[in-house]
Chains A and B, each alone.
Chain A
Amino acid sequence: MGFMYAAYSIVWVIIFGYMLLIGKRHSSLKKDIEFLKQLDK
Chain B
Amino acid sequence: MVLPRLTGALRSFSNVTRQDDYRGESADLMNKRSKLREQVLESDLTWKKITQFVTGIVDQKEHEAINEGLKEILQAAKLIVGTDHGQEAIESGAVFLLKTFYDKESVGQKETKAIKQMFGPFPSTSATAACNAASRIVSQLPQDQVNRLAKLFQENGGEGRMLFGNNVVFSLEMYELEAADDIPINGTTDIEDRLTLDL
Binding partners A and B? no
- Which B residues have a C-beta under 8 Å from some C-beta of A? none
- Which A residues have a C-beta under 8 Å from some C-beta of B? none
